Amino acid sequence: MSRRVVVTGVGLVLPQGIGIDPVWARICEGVSGVGPLTRFDTTDFETKIAAEVKGFRSEDYIELKEMKKMDIFIHYALAAAEIALADSGLAVSNNNAERIGVIVGTGLGGLSSIEKYHTVLLERGPQRVTPFFIPMLIANEASGHIAMRFGAKGPNLCVVTACATGAHSIGDAFRCIQYGDADAIIAGGVEATITPLAVAGFNSMKALSTRNAEPERASRPFERDRDGFVMGEGAAVTILEELEHARARGAKIYAELVGYGYTSDAYHLAAPDPKGDGAARCMQMALRDAKLSPDAVDYINAHGTSTELNDMVETIAIKRVFGGHAAKLAVSSTKSMTGHLLGAAGSTEAVFSCLAIRDRIIPPTINYENPDPQCDLDYVPNTAREQAVKIVISNSFGFGGTNATLAFKKYEG
């Protein structure tokens, strides 16, 4: 029999702030983190808005001499991990270090360092490229730095599955603990790629919103007038533990992670299967893994990107899986407030799913003004809803047709 896994700590570095309860309060209040893009001159760009992390001080978490060796995505990951560990009360020691692992992924890694040092190379020559350039950019260095900082010597992995990264990281950590390879895992996702090259690339794909005059209203999942997603950034980290390990040390428990689904559309390099086949099978897999019937689910934290095709296909997939129960489900997209955090999206939404269970509140989909006939579920429009929540599933779907679904359950002993 596989071991039970619970969430005992969470850490957030998001456009809404740094920490847990302050961020969650803003999410429940429907506060958008989107504003004018400040990281570079956007004169020549179609998109001039983003959901940037504001007020973050790397020096609060990292020594100055170490900061210079890392890309900002690693800074965010270290901060979120520190917050999550403090929240959980889990201490890594010589006695347990080999049983505690790290699985923290990212979609694009150190893109800002790539852009910076490519310019240095062209303008100042190869000798001026820092020797820390490669460790700055490679994706697994967030996971590696977390392990080094806290002394975690168990499994250490980096998942890179585009917008499903954070969810896959948590799902893989879930399996790792179930199979007995670790007793606790620091798991999540991070992204910090609001850069000229990334924005230009997504603009070329016509993927980003250009509602530049109304930044806070630009991310509008499932709504008729959506025109693309808004880039976000940040990190979300969870502490997953084997149940008896958590109980033995008297840890608080946010929720139990009971199911994990992961599938492929095998359809297109960026677009989802229009029939929702891969997404539907992913949800079904998570429910089967959790031994849950579809009608047991209270709430879906949707992938809900605010792009025309993705929102429509996710709606189709939900109807395929839940049948008549789909109309009774609460479905919301917190990307309406955070923007799309790419590699950190899935773990951010997993944290929100656990907090929804803890506080009996479902966060809203803001900017929902005009219903789309093709998206006709209950998207918890504009205002959070007080409601008992026992079962939540969280969806994350990424470029390349990769899908992830996590199922969380209220822990009742």
Establish if 113 belongs to a structural domain.
Answer: yes
Assign 413 a pLDDT band (cuts: 50, 70, 90).
confident
> Residue 338's domain is classified under what CATH number?
3.40.47.10
The mean pLDDT of 296-316, rounded to a whole number, is 98
The range of the structural domain enclosing residue 166 comes to 1-396
| pLDDT for res 404 | 98
pTM listed for this prediction: 0.98
Q: What is the mean pLDDT of residues 395-410?
A: 98
37-73 pLDDT tens trace: 999 999 999 999 999 999 999 999 999 999 999 999 9
Structure tokens at 22: 């302050």
- Which residues are annotated as catalytic? 163, 303, 340
* Residue 408, in any domain of the structure: no
Residue 413, domain member (yes or no): no
pLDDT tens digit sequence for 200-214: 999 999 999 999 999
pLDDT at 205: 97
Mean pLDDT value across residues 280-306: 98
Question: Average pLDDT of 256-275?
Answer: 96
Number of structural domains found in the chain: 1
Query: pLDDT at residue 1 above 80?
Result: no
* Region 2-31 average pLDDT: 97
Q: Is residue 177 part of a domain?
A: yes
Of the chain, the percentage scoring pLDDT greater than 90 comes to 99
| Section 1-25 average pLDDT | 95
12 domain residue, yes or no: yes
**Residues 16-30, mean pLDDT to the nearest whole number:** 98
* Mean pLDDT computed over 113-122: 98
Whether residue 234 lies inside any domain: the answer is yes
Whether 405 is in a domain gets the answer: no
Residue 92 located in a structural domain: yes
pLDDT band (50, 70, 90) for residue 4 = very high
What pLDDT, on a 0 to 100 scale, did the predictor assign at position 2?
80
